[in-house]
Structure 1
Amino acid sequence: MFSTDIILFPLNTEKGTACLQPQNKYLFAVHLKATAPEIKKAVEKIYHAKVSFVNVLNFKGKKRRYRSRQGKRPDWKKAIVTLKKGEHIEFG
Protein backbone atom coordinates (compact mmCIF):
# COMPACT_ATOMS: atom_id res chain seq x y z
CA MET A 1 0.00 0.00 0.00
CA PHE A 2 1.31 3.46 -0.92
CA SER A 3 1.75 6.22 1.67
CA THR A 4 -0.90 8.35 -0.02
CA ASP A 5 -3.37 5.44 0.19
CA ILE A 6 -2.81 5.02 3.94
CA ILE A 7 -3.30 8.66 5.02
CA LEU A 8 -6.69 9.75 3.65
CA PHE A 9 -6.82 13.29 5.07
CA PRO A 10 -5.97 15.27 8.22
CA LEU A 11 -8.85 15.79 10.64
CA ASN A 12 -9.34 19.44 11.57
CA THR A 13 -11.57 19.31 14.63
CA GLU A 14 -11.87 21.60 17.63
CA LYS A 15 -10.39 18.95 19.91
CA GLY A 16 -7.59 18.21 17.48
CA THR A 17 -6.45 21.78 17.04
CA ALA A 18 -7.05 23.27 20.49
CA CYS A 19 -6.16 20.35 22.76
CA LEU A 20 -3.81 18.03 20.90
CA GLN A 21 -1.56 20.25 18.75
CA PRO A 22 0.04 21.97 21.78
CA GLN A 23 0.94 18.42 22.91
CA ASN A 24 2.49 17.80 19.46
CA LYS A 25 -0.30 15.37 18.43
CA TYR A 26 -2.11 15.39 15.07
CA LEU A 27 -5.26 13.62 13.88
CA PHE A 28 -5.60 11.77 10.57
CA ALA A 29 -8.31 9.69 8.92
CA VAL A 30 -6.58 6.55 7.68
CA HIS A 31 -7.36 3.46 5.60
CA LEU A 32 -9.28 0.74 7.48
CA LYS A 33 -6.59 -1.90 6.96
CA ALA A 34 -3.65 0.35 7.85
CA THR A 35 -1.56 -0.63 10.88
CA ALA A 36 0.25 1.67 13.30
CA PRO A 37 3.74 1.00 11.82
CA GLU A 38 2.42 1.68 8.30
CA ILE A 39 0.82 4.94 9.47
CA LYS A 40 4.08 5.98 11.13
CA LYS A 41 6.09 5.38 7.93
CA ALA A 42 3.48 7.19 5.80
CA VAL A 43 3.44 10.31 8.00
CA GLU A 44 7.25 10.43 8.07
CA LYS A 45 7.39 10.08 4.28
CA ILE A 46 4.62 12.57 3.40
CA TYR A 47 5.20 15.28 6.03
CA HIS A 48 8.96 14.80 6.68
CA ALA A 49 8.50 14.75 10.47
CA LYS A 50 9.81 12.19 12.95
CA VAL A 51 6.99 10.26 14.65
CA SER A 52 7.25 9.17 18.28
CA PHE A 53 4.23 6.84 18.38
CA VAL A 54 0.77 6.27 16.88
CA ASN A 55 -2.57 5.54 18.56
CA VAL A 56 -5.35 4.10 16.38
CA LEU A 57 -9.13 4.20 16.95
CA ASN A 58 -11.73 2.25 14.94
CA PHE A 59 -15.22 3.68 14.47
CA LYS A 60 -18.30 1.75 13.34
CA GLY A 61 -20.56 3.54 10.87
CA LYS A 62 -23.85 4.81 12.25
CA LYS A 63 -27.15 3.33 11.09
CA ARG A 64 -29.19 5.79 9.07
CA ARG A 65 -32.69 5.68 7.67
CA TYR A 66 -34.29 7.63 4.83
CA ARG A 67 -38.02 7.02 4.54
CA SER A 68 -38.43 3.26 4.13
CA ARG A 69 -34.79 2.60 3.24
CA GLN A 70 -32.33 1.65 5.91
CA GLY A 71 -28.60 2.08 5.47
CA LYS A 72 -25.30 2.54 7.24
CA ARG A 73 -22.52 5.08 7.03
CA PRO A 74 -19.10 3.58 6.30
CA ASP A 75 -16.75 2.40 9.04
CA TRP A 76 -13.61 4.51 9.46
CA LYS A 77 -10.34 4.66 11.35
CA LYS A 78 -8.66 7.60 13.09
CA ALA A 79 -4.97 7.87 13.99
CA ILE A 80 -3.52 10.13 16.67
CA VAL A 81 0.10 10.70 15.67
CA THR A 82 2.53 12.02 18.28
CA LEU A 83 5.63 13.71 16.87
CA LYS A 84 9.03 13.87 18.52
CA LYS A 85 9.97 17.02 20.43
CA GLY A 86 10.81 19.93 18.15
CA GLU A 87 8.92 18.50 15.14
CA HIS A 88 5.73 19.97 13.69
CA ILE A 89 3.50 19.63 10.63
CA GLU A 90 2.33 22.56 8.50
CA PHE A 91 -1.02 22.07 6.77
CA GLY A 92 -1.32 24.23 3.68
Structure 2
Amino acid sequence: MIYQERLLKILKSTHVSEKTSIQSEKYNTFVFKVAKYATKTDIKNAINILFSVKINNINTVVVSGKSKGTANHVGRRSSWKKAYVVLEKNQKIDFIDTIE
Protein backbone atom coordinates (compact mmCIF):
# COMPACT_ATOMS: atom_id res chain seq x y z
CA MET A 1 0.00 0.00 0.00
CA ILE A 2 2.82 2.39 0.81
CA TYR A 3 4.46 1.74 -2.57
CA GLN A 4 1.21 2.56 -4.42
CA GLU A 5 0.84 5.81 -2.49
CA ARG A 6 4.42 6.69 -3.41
CA LEU A 7 3.69 5.98 -7.08
CA LEU A 8 0.67 8.28 -7.06
CA LYS A 9 2.83 11.13 -5.76
CA ILE A 10 5.41 10.71 -8.53
CA LEU A 11 3.34 12.21 -11.38
CA LYS A 12 2.80 15.87 -10.59
CA SER A 13 1.25 17.22 -13.79
CA THR A 14 1.41 17.16 -17.54
CA HIS A 15 3.79 19.55 -19.23
CA VAL A 16 2.02 21.32 -22.07
CA SER A 17 3.92 23.45 -24.56
CA GLU A 18 4.10 23.86 -28.31
CA LYS A 19 6.90 21.32 -28.53
CA THR A 20 5.10 18.71 -26.44
CA SER A 21 1.86 19.04 -28.39
CA ILE A 22 3.72 18.44 -31.66
CA GLN A 23 5.45 15.40 -30.17
CA SER A 24 2.15 14.10 -28.91
CA GLU A 25 0.64 14.18 -32.38
CA LYS A 26 3.66 12.95 -34.36
CA TYR A 27 5.37 10.43 -32.10
CA ASN A 28 2.69 9.45 -29.56
CA THR A 29 4.80 10.98 -26.78
CA PHE A 30 3.43 12.57 -23.61
CA VAL A 31 5.42 14.75 -21.22
CA PHE A 32 4.89 14.77 -17.45
CA LYS A 33 6.39 16.77 -14.61
CA VAL A 34 7.57 14.19 -12.10
CA ALA A 35 9.20 14.13 -8.68
CA LYS A 36 12.97 14.55 -8.64
CA TYR A 37 13.52 11.22 -6.89
CA ALA A 38 11.47 9.26 -9.46
CA THR A 39 13.18 6.56 -11.49
CA LYS A 40 12.09 5.36 -14.91
CA THR A 41 10.66 2.19 -13.36
CA ASP A 42 8.63 4.23 -10.86
CA ILE A 43 7.29 6.47 -13.63
CA LYS A 44 6.32 3.45 -15.74
CA ASN A 45 4.50 1.80 -12.84
CA ALA A 46 2.67 5.02 -11.95
CA ILE A 47 1.46 5.52 -15.51
CA ASN A 48 0.34 1.90 -15.72
CA ILE A 49 -1.69 2.30 -12.52
CA LEU A 50 -3.34 5.58 -13.54
CA PHE A 51 -3.88 5.16 -17.29
CA SER A 52 -3.49 1.42 -18.11
CA VAL A 53 -1.46 1.89 -21.28
CA LYS A 54 1.53 0.07 -22.78
CA ILE A 55 4.74 2.09 -22.69
CA ASN A 56 7.43 1.76 -25.34
CA ASN A 57 10.11 4.05 -23.90
CA ILE A 58 10.73 6.62 -21.16
CA ASN A 59 13.34 9.40 -21.23
CA THR A 60 13.91 11.70 -18.26
CA VAL A 61 15.43 15.18 -18.15
CA VAL A 62 16.33 17.33 -15.15
CA VAL A 63 15.60 20.96 -16.00
CA SER A 64 17.91 23.18 -14.01
CA GLY A 65 16.46 26.25 -12.34
CA LYS A 66 17.15 29.70 -13.73
CA SER A 67 18.76 32.55 -11.85
CA LYS A 68 16.39 35.46 -11.50
CA GLY A 69 16.94 38.72 -9.75
CA THR A 70 16.06 42.30 -9.12
CA ALA A 71 18.37 45.22 -8.40
CA ASN A 72 19.19 44.14 -4.84
CA HIS A 73 18.32 40.47 -4.67
CA VAL A 74 19.39 37.47 -6.72
CA GLY A 75 17.35 34.30 -6.39
CA ARG A 76 17.17 30.94 -8.07
CA ARG A 77 14.21 28.88 -9.22
CA SER A 78 14.24 25.27 -8.15
CA SER A 79 15.19 22.50 -10.57
CA TRP A 80 12.55 20.02 -11.72
CA LYS A 81 12.35 16.76 -13.59
CA LYS A 82 10.28 15.87 -16.64
CA ALA A 83 9.63 12.54 -18.30
CA TYR A 84 9.01 11.92 -21.98
CA VAL A 85 6.77 8.85 -22.19
CA VAL A 86 6.55 7.16 -25.60
CA LEU A 87 3.51 4.92 -25.92
CA GLU A 88 3.19 1.93 -28.20
CA LYS A 89 1.15 2.20 -31.39
CA ASN A 90 -2.62 2.36 -30.96
CA GLN A 91 -2.20 3.41 -27.31
CA LYS A 92 -3.53 6.76 -26.16
CA ILE A 93 -3.93 8.65 -22.91
CA ASP A 94 -7.27 10.41 -22.68
CA PHE A 95 -7.02 12.95 -19.86
CA ILE A 96 -10.69 13.97 -20.03
CA ASP A 97 -12.09 10.49 -19.38
CA THR A 98 -9.70 9.81 -16.51
CA ILE A 99 -10.95 12.86 -14.59
CA GLU A 100 -14.61 11.91 -14.61
Distance 1:18 1:90 in 2: 16
Matches within 5 A, 1:9-88: 9-88=13-92
CA offset at residue 53 of structure 1?
A: 1.4
CA offset at residue 75 of structure 1?
A: 0.3
Instruction: Flag the structure with higher strand content.
Output: 1
Q: After the TM superposition, which segments of 4 or more aligned residues of structure 1 sit over 4 Å from their partners? A: none
CA offset at residue 52 of structure 1?
A: 1.3
> RMSD over aligned Cα, in angstroms?
1.3
Instruction: Flag the structure with higher helix content.
Output: 2
Unaligned runs of 5+ in 1: none
Report if the CA contact (8 A) 2:12-2:35 is conserved. Answer: yes
TM-score (norm 1): 0.91
Identity %, equivalent residues: 28
Unaligned runs of 5+ in 2: none
Report if the CA contact (8 A) 2:23-2:30 is conserved. Answer: no
Label 1:28 to 1:18 Cα distance change in 2 as closer, same or farther (>3 A).
same
Report if the CA contact (8 A) 1:51-1:83 is conserved. Answer: yes
State how many pairs are aligned.
92
Give the secondary structure class of the aligned counterpart of 1:40. helix
